[in-house]
Structure 1
Amino acid sequence: MTSDTGQQRHASTATRTVVVTVAVVAVLLLGAAVGLLIRLPGTDSSTTPGKDSVDIGFAQDMAVHHLQGITMANTARDKTADPAIRQLAFDIESTQLEQVGRMKGWLTLWGAPEQSVDGTHMAWMESASHHSSSSNGGTSGLMPGMATSDELAKLRSLSGTEFDVYFLQLMLRHHEGGAPMAQYAATHAGLPVVRTLADNMLKSQAGESTYMKQLIAERGAAPLP
Protein backbone atom coordinates (compact mmCIF):
# COMPACT_ATOMS: atom_id res chain seq x y z
CA MET A 1 0.00 0.00 0.00
CA THR A 2 2.81 2.39 0.91
CA SER A 3 4.61 1.65 -2.35
CA ASP A 4 1.44 2.19 -4.38
CA THR A 5 0.76 5.47 -2.59
CA GLY A 6 4.28 6.68 -3.27
CA GLN A 7 3.99 5.78 -6.95
CA GLN A 8 0.67 7.58 -7.21
CA ARG A 9 2.13 10.68 -5.55
CA HIS A 10 5.11 10.62 -7.90
CA ALA A 11 2.84 10.25 -10.92
CA SER A 12 0.66 13.12 -9.73
CA THR A 13 3.70 15.36 -9.24
CA ALA A 14 5.02 14.48 -12.69
CA THR A 15 1.65 15.25 -14.24
CA ARG A 16 1.49 18.65 -12.54
CA THR A 17 5.00 19.43 -13.76
CA VAL A 18 4.08 18.64 -17.35
CA VAL A 19 0.88 20.69 -17.13
CA VAL A 20 2.72 23.69 -15.66
CA THR A 21 5.47 23.45 -18.27
CA VAL A 22 2.97 23.36 -21.12
CA ALA A 23 1.08 26.30 -19.62
CA VAL A 24 4.27 28.36 -19.27
CA VAL A 25 5.26 27.72 -22.89
CA ALA A 26 1.74 28.56 -24.05
CA VAL A 27 1.73 31.87 -22.17
CA LEU A 28 5.17 32.80 -23.51
CA LEU A 29 4.15 31.99 -27.09
CA LEU A 30 0.92 33.94 -26.70
CA GLY A 31 2.84 36.96 -25.46
CA ALA A 32 5.24 36.70 -28.38
CA ALA A 33 2.32 36.51 -30.80
CA VAL A 34 0.76 39.60 -29.23
CA GLY A 35 4.09 41.40 -29.54
CA LEU A 36 4.34 40.47 -33.21
CA LEU A 37 0.77 41.46 -34.02
CA ILE A 38 0.51 44.78 -32.18
CA ARG A 39 0.89 47.65 -34.63
CA LEU A 40 -0.56 51.10 -34.47
CA PRO A 41 -2.75 52.32 -37.34
CA GLY A 42 -0.56 53.70 -40.09
CA THR A 43 2.71 52.22 -38.84
CA ASP A 44 5.17 50.68 -41.27
CA SER A 45 8.80 49.63 -41.42
CA SER A 46 9.87 53.26 -41.17
CA THR A 47 8.77 53.23 -37.51
CA THR A 48 11.12 50.38 -36.60
CA PRO A 49 13.27 51.64 -33.71
CA GLY A 50 17.00 52.16 -34.26
CA LYS A 51 19.45 49.69 -32.80
CA ASP A 52 20.49 52.15 -30.08
CA SER A 53 16.93 53.23 -29.28
CA VAL A 54 15.24 53.24 -25.90
CA ASP A 55 12.60 50.88 -27.30
CA ILE A 56 15.04 48.12 -28.24
CA GLY A 57 17.28 48.58 -25.20
CA PHE A 58 14.32 48.46 -22.84
CA ALA A 59 12.84 45.35 -24.48
CA GLN A 60 16.18 43.55 -24.34
CA ASP A 61 17.12 44.47 -20.77
CA MET A 62 13.69 44.23 -19.18
CA ALA A 63 13.16 40.78 -20.71
CA VAL A 64 16.41 39.61 -19.09
CA HIS A 65 15.40 41.26 -15.80
CA HIS A 66 11.94 39.68 -15.92
CA LEU A 67 13.29 36.19 -16.59
CA GLN A 68 15.07 36.15 -13.25
CA GLY A 69 11.89 37.32 -11.54
CA ILE A 70 10.02 34.48 -13.23
CA THR A 71 12.63 32.00 -12.00
CA MET A 72 12.29 33.21 -8.40
CA ALA A 73 8.50 33.22 -8.59
CA ASN A 74 8.48 29.69 -9.98
CA THR A 75 10.70 28.55 -7.09
CA ALA A 76 8.37 30.18 -4.57
CA ARG A 77 5.26 28.72 -6.15
CA ASP A 78 6.73 25.23 -5.81
CA LYS A 79 8.30 25.55 -2.34
CA THR A 80 6.11 27.79 -0.19
CA ALA A 81 3.34 26.43 2.00
CA ASP A 82 1.84 29.92 2.41
CA PRO A 83 -1.23 30.44 0.17
CA ALA A 84 -0.72 34.22 0.01
CA ILE A 85 2.85 33.89 -1.20
CA ARG A 86 1.95 31.11 -3.63
CA GLN A 87 -0.74 33.32 -5.17
CA LEU A 88 1.63 36.30 -5.34
CA ALA A 89 4.28 34.16 -7.02
CA PHE A 90 1.74 32.84 -9.53
CA ASP A 91 0.58 36.37 -10.35
CA ILE A 92 4.15 37.63 -10.85
CA GLU A 93 5.14 34.64 -12.96
CA SER A 94 2.06 34.85 -15.18
CA THR A 95 2.29 38.60 -15.73
CA GLN A 96 6.00 38.68 -16.44
CA LEU A 97 5.87 35.65 -18.74
CA GLU A 98 3.33 37.44 -20.92
CA GLN A 99 5.39 40.64 -20.89
CA VAL A 100 8.59 38.79 -21.82
CA GLY A 101 6.78 37.14 -24.70
CA ARG A 102 5.52 40.51 -25.88
CA MET A 103 8.95 42.14 -25.72
CA LYS A 104 10.65 39.24 -27.51
CA GLY A 105 7.92 39.40 -30.14
CA TRP A 106 8.69 43.08 -30.70
CA LEU A 107 12.42 42.39 -30.98
CA THR A 108 11.73 39.75 -33.61
CA LEU A 109 9.46 42.16 -35.46
CA TRP A 110 12.18 44.82 -35.37
CA GLY A 111 14.91 42.43 -36.50
CA ALA A 112 16.83 43.03 -33.26
CA PRO A 113 18.70 40.47 -31.11
CA GLU A 114 17.01 39.30 -27.93
CA GLN A 115 19.93 40.55 -25.81
CA SER A 116 22.57 43.24 -26.11
CA VAL A 117 25.26 41.91 -28.43
CA ASP A 118 28.12 43.43 -26.41
CA GLY A 119 26.84 42.20 -23.05
CA THR A 120 26.20 45.66 -21.63
CA HIS A 121 22.95 46.83 -20.09
CA MET A 122 21.14 50.13 -19.73
CA ALA A 123 23.39 52.09 -22.10
CA TRP A 124 20.11 53.31 -23.63
CA MET A 125 19.43 55.26 -20.42
CA GLU A 126 20.99 58.67 -19.96
CA SER A 127 21.24 57.84 -16.25
CA ALA A 128 23.01 54.51 -16.78
CA SER A 129 26.19 55.89 -15.20
CA HIS A 130 24.25 56.48 -12.00
CA HIS A 131 23.31 52.82 -11.77
CA SER A 132 26.86 51.61 -12.42
CA SER A 133 27.81 52.74 -8.93
CA SER A 134 25.28 50.38 -7.38
CA SER A 135 26.70 47.41 -5.49
CA ASN A 136 24.17 45.13 -7.20
CA GLY A 137 24.11 46.50 -10.69
CA GLY A 138 26.03 48.11 -13.50
CA THR A 139 26.03 48.47 -17.24
CA SER A 140 28.36 45.48 -17.71
CA GLY A 141 27.20 43.28 -14.82
CA LEU A 142 23.96 42.53 -13.02
CA MET A 143 21.25 45.09 -13.50
CA PRO A 144 19.86 46.85 -10.40
CA GLY A 145 17.71 44.62 -8.25
CA MET A 146 18.88 41.33 -9.71
CA ALA A 147 19.96 38.57 -7.33
CA THR A 148 23.42 37.06 -7.50
CA SER A 149 23.96 33.35 -8.11
CA ASP A 150 24.83 32.95 -4.42
CA GLU A 151 21.58 34.61 -3.37
CA LEU A 152 19.57 32.36 -5.68
CA ALA A 153 21.35 29.31 -4.27
CA LYS A 154 20.57 30.48 -0.74
CA LEU A 155 16.91 30.94 -1.67
CA ARG A 156 16.69 27.38 -2.96
CA SER A 157 18.32 26.06 0.22
CA LEU A 158 15.79 27.59 2.60
CA SER A 159 12.38 26.34 3.67
CA GLY A 160 9.38 27.43 5.72
CA THR A 161 9.15 31.00 6.96
CA GLU A 162 12.84 31.63 6.23
CA PHE A 163 12.23 30.82 2.59
CA ASP A 164 9.08 32.97 2.43
CA VAL A 165 10.80 36.01 3.92
CA TYR A 166 13.90 35.74 1.76
CA PHE A 167 11.80 35.31 -1.38
CA LEU A 168 9.80 38.42 -0.52
CA GLN A 169 12.98 40.37 0.20
CA LEU A 170 14.65 39.37 -3.07
CA MET A 171 11.53 39.95 -5.15
CA LEU A 172 10.88 43.34 -3.56
CA ARG A 173 14.43 44.43 -4.34
CA HIS A 174 14.02 43.01 -7.84
CA HIS A 175 10.87 45.06 -8.46
CA GLU A 176 12.41 48.23 -7.05
CA GLY A 177 15.61 47.75 -9.05
CA GLY A 178 13.75 47.43 -12.33
CA ALA A 179 11.51 50.44 -11.72
CA PRO A 180 13.96 53.09 -13.05
CA MET A 181 14.20 51.23 -16.38
CA ALA A 182 10.43 51.10 -16.70
CA GLN A 183 10.11 54.74 -15.68
CA TYR A 184 12.68 55.83 -18.26
CA ALA A 185 11.03 53.81 -21.03
CA ALA A 186 7.56 55.06 -20.08
CA THR A 187 8.83 58.59 -20.64
CA HIS A 188 11.40 58.26 -23.43
CA ALA A 189 10.49 55.29 -25.64
CA GLY A 190 9.63 56.26 -29.19
CA LEU A 191 6.66 53.91 -29.71
CA PRO A 192 3.40 54.36 -27.76
CA VAL A 193 3.00 50.59 -27.25
CA VAL A 194 6.39 50.44 -25.53
CA ARG A 195 5.61 53.44 -23.34
CA THR A 196 2.27 51.88 -22.41
CA LEU A 197 3.79 48.54 -21.46
CA ALA A 198 6.48 50.23 -19.35
CA ASP A 199 3.86 52.34 -17.57
CA ASN A 200 1.73 49.26 -16.89
CA MET A 201 4.77 47.55 -15.39
CA LEU A 202 5.34 50.49 -13.07
CA LYS A 203 1.76 50.49 -11.85
CA SER A 204 1.42 46.74 -11.31
CA GLN A 205 4.81 46.32 -9.65
CA ALA A 206 4.24 49.32 -7.38
CA GLY A 207 1.15 47.59 -6.03
CA GLU A 208 3.00 44.29 -5.64
CA SER A 209 5.88 46.06 -3.88
CA THR A 210 3.53 47.63 -1.35
CA TYR A 211 1.95 44.24 -0.72
CA MET A 212 5.35 42.54 -0.31
CA LYS A 213 6.42 45.13 2.25
CA GLN A 214 3.26 44.33 4.19
CA LEU A 215 3.94 40.58 4.03
CA ILE A 216 7.55 41.08 5.14
CA ALA A 217 6.48 43.20 8.11
CA GLU A 218 3.83 40.66 9.12
CA ARG A 219 6.62 38.08 9.36
CA GLY A 220 8.72 40.24 11.65
CA ALA A 221 11.34 41.08 9.03
CA ALA A 222 12.49 44.09 7.03
CA PRO A 223 13.41 44.69 3.37
CA LEU A 224 17.00 44.09 2.35
CA PRO A 225 19.24 47.15 2.76
Structure 2
Amino acid sequence: MSKPRRAHTPPLLPALLMALLVALLALTAFVLTRPAPPLPGPASAEVRFTQDMTRHHEQAVTMARLIRPRSTRRTVRSLALDIELSQGEQLRQMRGWLTLWGQGPGAPPTPEHARHMGMASPAELVSLSTLPPREAERAFLRLMIRHHRGALAMVRGVLRPEGVRPGVRPEVLRLARQIEASQRGEIITLTGLLSRLGGPDSSDAAPSSGQHHH
Protein backbone atom coordinates (compact mmCIF):
# COMPACT_ATOMS: atom_id res chain seq x y z
CA MET A 1 0.00 0.00 0.00
CA SER A 2 1.63 3.28 -1.09
CA LYS A 3 2.15 6.13 1.39
CA PRO A 4 0.22 9.39 0.78
CA ARG A 5 2.36 12.17 -0.60
CA ARG A 6 3.07 15.12 1.70
CA ALA A 7 2.07 18.54 0.51
CA HIS A 8 5.09 20.50 -0.76
CA THR A 9 6.08 23.28 1.70
CA PRO A 10 7.99 26.16 0.13
CA PRO A 11 11.29 26.97 1.82
CA LEU A 12 11.01 29.70 4.47
CA LEU A 13 14.31 31.47 3.75
CA PRO A 14 13.47 32.84 0.28
CA ALA A 15 10.10 34.07 1.58
CA LEU A 16 11.73 35.85 4.51
CA LEU A 17 14.33 37.43 2.26
CA MET A 18 11.62 38.64 -0.10
CA ALA A 19 9.66 40.17 2.81
CA LEU A 20 12.80 41.88 4.08
CA LEU A 21 13.57 43.25 0.63
CA VAL A 22 10.05 44.64 0.29
CA ALA A 23 10.29 46.29 3.72
CA LEU A 24 13.68 47.79 2.87
CA LEU A 25 12.38 49.18 -0.42
CA ALA A 26 9.39 50.70 1.36
CA LEU A 27 11.65 52.33 3.97
CA THR A 28 13.96 53.70 1.27
CA ALA A 29 11.01 55.15 -0.63
CA PHE A 30 9.72 56.78 2.57
CA VAL A 31 13.09 58.37 3.34
CA LEU A 32 13.57 59.62 -0.21
CA THR A 33 10.10 61.10 -0.53
CA ARG A 34 9.89 62.60 2.98
CA PRO A 35 10.21 66.39 2.78
CA ALA A 36 13.44 67.76 4.25
CA PRO A 37 13.07 69.95 7.36
CA PRO A 38 13.08 73.64 6.50
CA LEU A 39 16.37 75.49 6.85
CA PRO A 40 16.65 77.84 9.84
CA GLY A 41 15.73 81.43 9.06
CA PRO A 42 17.70 84.53 10.06
CA ALA A 43 15.59 85.07 13.20
CA SER A 44 15.75 81.42 14.34
CA ALA A 45 17.39 80.35 17.58
CA GLU A 46 19.87 78.22 15.61
CA VAL A 47 21.10 81.06 13.40
CA ARG A 48 21.32 83.62 16.21
CA PHE A 49 23.15 81.18 18.47
CA THR A 50 25.55 80.08 15.73
CA GLN A 51 26.34 83.63 14.61
CA ASP A 52 26.95 84.81 18.18
CA MET A 53 29.00 81.78 19.14
CA THR A 54 31.06 82.11 15.96
CA ARG A 55 32.05 85.66 16.95
CA HIS A 56 32.68 84.48 20.49
CA HIS A 57 34.94 81.63 19.38
CA GLU A 58 36.80 83.88 16.96
CA GLN A 59 37.79 86.14 19.82
CA ALA A 60 38.83 83.20 22.03
CA VAL A 61 41.12 81.94 19.25
CA THR A 62 42.54 85.46 18.83
CA MET A 63 43.26 85.73 22.56
CA ALA A 64 44.96 82.33 22.58
CA ARG A 65 47.12 83.28 19.59
CA LEU A 66 48.13 86.55 21.23
CA ILE A 67 49.30 85.01 24.50
CA ARG A 68 50.89 81.79 23.28
CA PRO A 69 54.10 83.26 21.78
CA ARG A 70 54.51 85.65 24.73
CA SER A 71 53.91 83.28 27.62
CA THR A 72 56.87 82.06 29.62
CA ARG A 73 54.95 79.17 31.19
CA ARG A 74 54.37 75.86 29.45
CA THR A 75 51.01 75.36 31.21
CA VAL A 76 49.66 78.64 29.86
CA ARG A 77 50.98 77.93 26.35
CA SER A 78 49.48 74.42 26.41
CA LEU A 79 46.10 75.70 27.58
CA ALA A 80 46.09 78.43 24.93
CA LEU A 81 46.89 75.86 22.24
CA ASP A 82 44.07 73.59 23.44
CA ILE A 83 41.61 76.50 23.25
CA GLU A 84 42.86 77.51 19.80
CA LEU A 85 42.54 73.99 18.38
CA SER A 86 39.24 72.96 19.99
CA GLN A 87 37.42 76.21 19.32
CA GLY A 88 38.96 76.44 15.87
CA GLU A 89 37.39 73.08 15.01
CA GLN A 90 34.00 74.21 16.33
CA LEU A 91 34.38 77.44 14.35
CA ARG A 92 34.75 75.50 11.11
CA GLN A 93 31.65 73.49 11.98
CA MET A 94 29.54 76.58 12.71
CA ARG A 95 30.71 78.44 9.61
CA GLY A 96 29.77 75.38 7.57
CA TRP A 97 26.27 75.42 9.04
CA LEU A 98 25.78 79.09 8.23
CA THR A 99 26.87 78.46 4.65
CA LEU A 100 24.55 75.45 4.39
CA TRP A 101 21.65 77.48 5.77
CA GLY A 102 22.34 80.37 3.39
CA GLN A 103 23.13 82.76 6.25
CA GLY A 104 25.98 85.22 6.66
CA PRO A 105 28.08 85.85 9.77
CA GLY A 106 25.65 88.42 11.09
CA ALA A 107 26.35 91.92 12.34
CA PRO A 108 29.13 92.38 14.90
CA PRO A 109 27.78 92.54 18.46
CA THR A 110 27.24 95.94 20.00
CA PRO A 111 29.52 96.81 22.95
CA GLU A 112 26.65 96.09 25.35
CA HIS A 113 25.88 92.73 23.76
CA ALA A 114 29.58 91.84 23.73
CA ARG A 115 29.73 92.49 27.49
CA HIS A 116 26.78 90.17 28.04
CA MET A 117 28.72 87.55 26.07
CA GLY A 118 31.75 87.99 28.34
CA MET A 119 33.89 89.21 25.47
CA ALA A 120 37.05 91.27 25.86
CA SER A 121 37.08 94.92 24.83
CA PRO A 122 39.50 96.15 22.15
CA ALA A 123 41.70 97.68 24.87
CA GLU A 124 41.79 94.38 26.77
CA LEU A 125 42.85 92.55 23.64
CA VAL A 126 45.65 95.05 23.07
CA SER A 127 46.84 94.55 26.65
CA LEU A 128 47.69 90.92 25.89
CA SER A 129 50.33 92.22 23.48
CA THR A 130 51.58 95.21 25.51
CA LEU A 131 51.67 94.09 29.15
CA PRO A 132 54.82 92.44 30.48
CA PRO A 133 54.59 88.68 29.81
CA ARG A 134 53.79 87.62 33.39
CA GLU A 135 51.07 90.25 33.71
CA ALA A 136 49.75 89.38 30.26
CA GLU A 137 49.43 85.72 31.32
CA ARG A 138 47.29 86.65 34.32
CA ALA A 139 45.23 89.04 32.20
CA PHE A 140 44.67 86.26 29.65
CA LEU A 141 43.45 83.85 32.34
CA ARG A 142 41.07 86.42 33.86
CA LEU A 143 39.71 87.40 30.46
CA MET A 144 39.25 83.78 29.38
CA ILE A 145 37.40 82.89 32.60
CA ARG A 146 34.97 85.74 31.91
CA HIS A 147 34.79 84.72 28.26
CA HIS A 148 33.90 81.12 29.17
CA ARG A 149 31.25 82.28 31.62
CA GLY A 150 29.74 84.27 28.79
CA ALA A 151 29.63 81.12 26.64
CA LEU A 152 27.77 79.27 29.40
CA ALA A 153 25.19 82.08 29.49
CA MET A 154 24.84 81.85 25.71
CA VAL A 155 24.22 78.10 25.60
CA ARG A 156 21.40 78.54 28.09
CA GLY A 157 19.53 80.21 25.24
CA VAL A 158 19.11 76.76 23.67
CA LEU A 159 19.70 74.50 26.69
CA ARG A 160 17.16 75.81 29.15
CA PRO A 161 17.15 74.54 32.76
CA GLU A 162 13.71 73.01 32.24
CA GLY A 163 14.81 71.31 29.04
CA VAL A 164 15.97 72.04 25.52
CA ARG A 165 14.40 74.84 23.54
CA PRO A 166 11.62 73.37 21.37
CA GLY A 167 12.37 73.00 17.68
CA VAL A 168 16.14 73.51 17.85
CA ARG A 169 18.03 71.33 15.38
CA PRO A 170 19.76 68.34 17.02
CA GLU A 171 23.21 69.19 15.68
CA VAL A 172 23.01 72.63 17.31
CA LEU A 173 21.92 71.08 20.59
CA ARG A 174 24.86 68.65 20.46
CA LEU A 175 27.33 71.47 19.93
CA ALA A 176 25.77 73.54 22.73
CA ARG A 177 26.15 70.60 25.12
CA GLN A 178 29.78 70.12 24.04
CA ILE A 179 30.53 73.79 24.63
CA GLU A 180 28.84 73.72 28.02
CA ALA A 181 30.75 70.65 29.20
CA SER A 182 34.17 71.67 27.88
CA GLN A 183 34.05 75.27 29.04
CA ARG A 184 32.81 74.37 32.53
CA GLY A 185 35.84 72.13 32.85
CA GLU A 186 38.18 74.78 31.44
CA ILE A 187 36.90 77.39 33.90
CA ILE A 188 38.05 75.12 36.74
CA THR A 189 41.46 74.73 35.06
CA LEU A 190 41.79 78.46 34.35
CA THR A 191 40.80 79.44 37.89
CA GLY A 192 43.23 76.98 39.45
CA LEU A 193 46.07 78.15 37.22
CA LEU A 194 45.33 81.81 37.95
CA SER A 195 45.41 81.08 41.67
CA ARG A 196 48.80 79.37 41.35
CA LEU A 197 50.16 82.35 39.43
CA GLY A 198 49.18 84.66 42.25
CA GLY A 199 46.39 86.46 40.45
CA PRO A 200 42.97 86.46 42.11
CA ASP A 201 39.97 85.78 39.94
CA SER A 202 38.96 89.40 39.56
CA SER A 203 37.01 88.77 36.39
CA ASP A 204 33.55 90.23 36.20
CA ALA A 205 30.60 88.33 37.60
CA ALA A 206 29.09 85.74 35.35
CA PRO A 207 27.16 87.37 32.52
CA SER A 208 23.41 87.42 32.67
CA SER A 209 21.76 84.19 31.64
CA GLY A 210 19.07 86.04 29.76
CA GLN A 211 19.02 85.87 25.99
CA HIS A 212 20.50 89.00 24.42
CA HIS A 213 20.60 89.76 20.72
CA HIS A 214 22.10 92.49 18.65
> Is 1:147 equivalent to 2:120 in the alignment?
yes
Change (3 A) 1:68 1:120: closer
TM-superposed CA distance for 1:183, in Å, is: 2.3
Indicate the residue corresponding to 1:29 in structure 2: none
Q: Which TM-score applies when normalising by structure 2?
A: 0.72
Structure 2 runs not aligned, ≥5 long: 1-30, 205-214
Deviations 1:49-95 (A, max 9, x none): 12211100011010001101100001111110111011100000001
Indicate the residue corresponding to 2:94 in structure 1: 103
TM-superposed CA distance for 1:222, in Å, is: 1.2
Give me the whole-angstrom Cα distance separating, in 2, the residues matched to 1:185 and 1:144: 15
What is the Cα-based RMSD across aligned positions, in Å?
A: 2.1
Identity %: 35
> Is 1:214 equivalent to 2:214 in the alignment?
no
Q: Which TM-score applies when normalising by structure 1?
A: 0.68
Equivalent residue letter for 2:187: S
Indicate the residue corresponding to 1:69 in structure 2: 60
Maintained 8 Å contact 1:49/1:190: no
> Is 1:138 equivalent to 2:112 in the alignment?
yes
Q: Which residue, out of 147, 170, 174, partners 1:196?
A: 174
Give me the whole-angstrom Cα distance separating, in 2, the residues matched to 1:101 and 1:80: 26
Equivalent residue letter for 1:75: L
Q: Which residue, out of 177, 185, 188, partners 2:158?
A: 185
Deviations 1:151-173 (A, max 9, x none): 11112112332111111011111
Indicate the residue corresponding to 2:148 in structure 1: 175
Equivalent residue letter for 2:192: Q
Structure 1 residues 86-125: aligned runs within 5 Å: 86-116=77-107, 119=108
Name whichever structure is richer in helix by fraction. Answer: 1
Maintained 8 Å contact 1:73/1:89: yes
Change (3 A) 1:44 1:147: farther
Give me the whole-angstrom Cα distance separating, in 2, the residues matched to 1:44 and 1:77: 48
TM-superposed CA distance for 1:120, in Å, is: 5.3
Structure 1 runs not aligned, ≥5 long: 1-40, 122-136
TM-superposed CA distance for 1:44, in Å, is: 6.0
Give me the whole-angstrom Cα distance separating, in 2, the residues matched to 1:138 and 1:219: 31
Maintained 8 Å contact 2:67/2:128: no
Maintained 8 Å contact 1:80/1:159: no
TM-superposed CA distance for 1:48, in Å, is: 1.0
Give me the whole-angstrom Cα distance separating, in 2, the residues matched to 1:153 and 1:205: 24
What is the aligned residue count?
A: 167
Indicate the residue corresponding to 1:125 in structure 2: none
Question: Is the radius of gyration larger for structure 1 or structure 2?
Answer: 2
Q: Which residue, out of 73, 76, 87, partners 1:85?
A: 76
Change (3 A) 1:160 1:52: same
